[in-house]
Amino acid sequence: MARGWMGVCGLVLAFAALCGGAHAAAPPQRIVSLNLCGDQLAWMLAGRGRIAALSHLARSAELSYVAPQVADVPIVQGAAEEILPLAPDLVLAGRYTAKPTVAFLRAKGVPILELSIPQDFAGIRDQVRRVARALGEEPRGEALIAAMDAALAEPAQRHDGPRPVGVAWQAGGFTAGAGTLTDAVLDAAGLDNLATRSGLKGHGYLTLEAMVAGRPDVLIADAALPTQPSLRQALLQHPALARPGALGRRVTVPAPLLACGTPATAEAVRLLRAALAEGTRP
Amino acid sequence: MSARLLPGALALLVLALFVGSLSVGPSAVGLGTALTDLLAGADTTAAVIVAEIRLPRALLGVGVGATLGLAGAALQGLLRNPLAEPGVVGVSPFAALGAVIAFYSGLSGTFALALPLGGILGALLAVALLYALAGRGGGMLTLVLAGMALSSLAGALTSLALSLSPNPFALAEIVFWLLGSLADRSLTHVWLAVPFMAVGWALLLTAGRHLDALTLGELTARSLGVDLGRLRLRIVLGTALAVGAAVAVSGTIGFVGLIVPHLVRPLVGWQPGRLLLPSALGGAALTLAADIAVRLPGGAELKLGVVTALIGAPFFLALVLRTRGSAA
């Protein structure tokens, strides 16, 4: 199988020039991902057989969409000395993955694909196409995009009057405003983002007063709240929010759907639309 | 100003700042609208914001500030030492430690009173340790050094307790416990803390006459009929109850108990007994004012202890310089 041949190639990686010609044409067979989003895209596009290792976050049920499936895939913490012996022929790194590690790998001739951070569905399409091209899986990438677009195209619930208001308000008042993936998800679901409306750009904090004054119809509640007490979580239970009518409804959106822009993010839109269809003010 | 008029004037100031505290916030909700809605029984957004977010904050500003001012004045009287203050001498940091253990262990989730009780136990331990270390005849230096050691010990143990919590946010919340804040507290916190604080105030406010006698020295005080053991117990318990409950809901707000008695002292004529009530009112006023300042627009909200330390630390240094001659 091609894997054995690539192993030989990996052994002589120091003489990258010898193998370089073959690399350009053949799709990578020993993929290492150092980034949570790269983990998920590599899994969706290439599958188990061609993955040498994923980042340790891939197994985190709180963050990773593919966590249940990757329990037996080798993981790396992200240090150069554990990655190099794996002889990867493609490393997926995030834009903010440890720069010295990535520079070292690049200097050793390891091909690196640097991922962007999609902030909307157009960004997700671009990202999937780039990774699919690098993995030689263009048809699979197009299929994933088509499935995502089909989910997004399902008719949104009709509402008379102004659009309902939604917000993703996490422990401590942390939220996502304009130019974030969460904002794009709320918009696609037919909701006005309270944080964006309050003038927040990027990620930041929304005060309790702004939450009460905004009377959101939908609150995206984190599915993976730790059960141990903290002051930040106590804020989510403040009496001013617990009163009837202060919030329309809490919708649980699993954090992995919003942590990374992947085709699975469309699932978050579907969950929000379903909640809107049930009626926002019970 | 006459010493008789002082409490009344300070009470008016507290009232004005209380109204100010209800009027200030990140959302553009006017106090007038909210009061009209509240009186009409209308459950509007403005009413909820003022009644459930700003009112607890203002009430705790009064309660916590009064506690710190009063405890500062009482400790200074008992230890006959102008540098005594719940924050400086380690009482508030130990109260924070007690509250941290009660809260992050989950104990206060099942038994709500565990939070103030934890703070009170921590404060009690600190006052007892402090008195053993620097209470009798100890100079100013002994008190400050003992307080410093207790404060850093409490800070380290608080950090340890937070590190041991499995909650990923816990360690970042050390900022709240070390610098204090009244942001987004609820009426539940008010009900948890105020009864204990009130008992503590009663114990401290009624100790005035005996503290006055103590300024003449322990022997003279005893000859005047002061039971020193009971006086000590009264101040230790009163401080622990009031400061412990206050810190449990607000974190450690420093220097209020140091600044206020010193500002008030020249106005009441150097008698510790007369200092108590004005110090409580002054503490409430200073804390309310600082809590209004942290909410003024311009960037993220500061922690309350940042503002009180910015005012209090230079004050403390000036006091150390001024008393250096007499300390030797």
Nearest residue to A228 (alpha-carbon basis) of B166, B173, B171: B166
In chain B, residues with a C-beta closer than 8 Å to the C-beta of A212 are: 27, 45, 48-49, 52-53
Residues 6 or more apart in contact with residue B219 via CB below 8 angstroms: none
- Residue A277: is it exposed, middle or buried by C-beta count within 10 angstroms (0-12/13-18/19+)? exposed
Contacts of B168 in chain A (CB under 8 A): 226
Please check whether residue B97 is in contact with residue B157, taking contact to mean a CB–CB distance below 8 angstroms.
yes
Q: Could you tell me if B29 lies within 8 Å of chain A, comparing CB atoms?
A: yes
The 3-class SS string of A203-217 reads EEECCHHHHHHHCCC
Instruction: State whether A110 and A166 are in the same domain.
Output: no
For residue B251, what is the nearest residue in chain A, using CA coordinates? A231
Residue contact B184–A246, C-beta within 8 A: no
Residue B167: which of A209, A228, A246 has the nearest Cβ? A228
SS3 content of chain B, % helix, strand, coil (to 5): 75, 0, 25
| Other beta carbons less than 10 A from residue B163's beta carbon | 10
Average pLDDT rounded to a whole number, residues A201-228 = 82
- Whether residue A147 lies inside any domain: the answer is no
pLDDT 10s digit of each residue in chain B, 328 long?
566 789 999 999 999 999 999 998 888 888 888 898 888 888 788 888 899 889 999 999 999 999 999 999 999 998 888 888 898 889 999 999 999 999 999 888 888 899 999 999 999 999 888 878 876 666 667 887 888 899 999 999 999 999 988 887 788 888 889 899 998 889 999 999 999 999 999 999 999 999 999 888 888 988 998 888 889 889 989 999 999 999 999 999 999 999 999 999 989 888 899 999 999 999 999 999 999 999 887 666 788 989 999 988 898 888 878 877 654 4
- Strand A165-168 relative to strand A192-193: parallel, antiparallel, unpaired? parallel
Find tokens 């894997």 and name the residue.
Answer: A3
In a domain, A85, yes or no: yes
- Residue A231 belongs to a domain: yes
Output the pTM of the full model: 0.79
Average pLDDT over residues A4-9: 43
Residue A122 C-alpha from the chain's centroid = 14
CB contact under 8 A, B166 and A209: no
A75-76 β-sheet, strand order: A75-76, A51-55, A31-33, A90-93, A112-114
Task: Tell me, letter by letter, the H, E, C secondary structure of A150-174.
Answer: HHHHCCCCCCCCCCCEEEEECHHHE
Q: Do B186 and A232 touch (CB under 8 A)?
A: no
Look at residues B22, B5, B120, B90 and name the one whose alpha carbon lies nearest to residue B62: B22
Which of B48, B103, B104 lies nearest to residue A240, judging by beta carbons?
A: B48
Instruction: Look at the block and give the residue holding tokens 């919708």.
Output: A251
**Fold (topology level) of B59-327:** ABC transporter involved in vitamin B12 uptake, BtuC (1.10.3470)
- Asked whether residue A258 carries a pLDDT value surpassing 60, the answer given is yes
Q: Which two tokens stand for residue B266?
A: 């020249």
Residue A149 lies in a domain: no
Tell me: do A164 and A65 sit in the same domain: no
Place of tokens 């001498």: B89
Please tell me which residue of chain A has the smallest CA distance to B51.
Answer: A240
Residues in B closer than 8 angstroms to A210, CB to CB, are: 26-27
Count of beta carbons in the 10 Å neighbourhood of residue A227 = 9
Distance CA(A263)–CA(A44), nearest Å, equals: 9
Q: How far is A62 from chain B (nearest CA, A)?
A: 12
Residues 200-239 of B with CB under 8 A from A: none
> Domain of A74: which CATH number?
3.40.50.1980
ipTM of the complex: 0.70
**CB-based contacts of A1: which residues, under 8 Å, 6+ apart?**
none
- Give the distance, in angstroms, between the CA of residue A198 and the centroid of all CA atoms in the same chain: 25
Q: What are phi and psi of B219, to 5 degrees?
A: -65, -50
Across B312-325, b (16+ Cβ under 10 Å) vs e yields beebbeebeeeeee
B169 to A208: CB separation less than 8 angstroms, yes or no: no
**What integer is the mean pLDDT of A241-247?**
79
The domain boundary, picked from A115, A147, A176, lies at A115
B165 chain-A contacts, CB cut-off 8 A: 228, 230
Domain count, chain A: 2
Q: Which two tokens stand for residue B82?
A: 């102008």
Q: How many whole angstroms separate alpha carbon B328 and alpha carbon B325? A: 6
Q: Distance from A138 to chain B by nearest Cα, in Å? A: 39
Instruction: Test B170 with A205 for CB contact under 8 angstroms.
Output: no
Map out the domains of chain B as residue ranges.
59-327
Instruction: Tell me whether residues B173 and A215 touch, CB distance under 8 A.
Output: no
- Residue A60 lies in domain: 2-115
On the CB side of B176, how many CA atoms lie within 13 Å of its CA?
22
Q: What is the pLDDT of residue A12?
A: 40
pLDDT (0 to 100) of residue A157: 59
Question: Would you say residue A128 lies in a domain?
Answer: no
pLDDT at A7: 42
Among A98, A115, A132, residue at a domain's last position: A115
The alpha-carbon gap from B169 to the nearest alpha carbon of chain A, in Å, equals 7
Contact between A229 and B103 using a beta-carbon 8 Å cutoff: yes
Count Cβ neighbours within 10 Å for each residue of B128-162 and write b for 16 or more, e otherwise. Answer: ebbbebbbeebebeebbebbeebbebbbebbbebb
**pLDDT tens readout for residues A127-148:** 999 999 999 999 999 999 999 9
Q: Quote the minimal CA–CA distance from A72 to chain B in Å.
A: 26
* 8 Å CB contact of B169 and A238: no
Q: What is the DSSP letter of A178?
A: B
- Write down which residue in A79, A100, A115 finishes a domain: A115
Task: Quote the CA–CA distance of B180 and A4 in Å, as a whole number.
Answer: 62
- What would the pLDDT profile of A84-102 be if each residue is shown by its tens digit? 889 999 999 988 777 788 8
Residues A194, A266: one domain?
Answer: yes
Contact in structure between A78 and A34 (CB atoms under 8 Å)? yes
Mean pLDDT of chain A: 84
Residue type, A193: N
Percent composition of chain A: helix, strand, coil (DSSP 3-state, to 5): 50, 15, 35
Mutate to test the interface with B, among A60, A230, A237, A243 (most CBs of B within 10 A): A230
* Interchain proximity A212–B27, CB inside 8 Å: yes
Q: Does residue A49 lie in a domain region?
A: yes
CA distance B107 to chain A (A): 9
Handedness of CA A115, A119, A123, A129 (dihedral sign): positive
Q: How confident is the model at residue A276 (pLDDT cuts 50, 70, 90)?
A: confident
Predicted local distance difference test score (pLDDT) of residue A172 = 81
Whether residues A55 and A164 share a domain: the answer is: no
Rounded to the nearest angstrom, the minimum Cα separation between A260 and chain B is 20
Return residues 101-140 of B near A (CB < 8 Å).
103-104, 106, 108-109
Q: How many CB pairs under 8 A join A and B?
A: 76
Closest CB from A172, A238, A240 relative to B169: A172
* A65 within a domain of the structure (yes/no): yes
pLDDT of residue A29: 93
Q: How many angstroms away from the CA of B42 is the closest CA of chain A?
A: 13
Q: List the single residue in B49, B109, B188 with the smallest CB-CB distance to A239.
A: B188
B23 shares contact with chain A (CB less than 8 Å):
no
Identify whether A150 is part of a domain: no
A7-47 pLDDT, tens digit per residue, is: 444 444 434 444 443 344 589 999 999 999 999 999 999 98
Same domain, A77 and A167: no
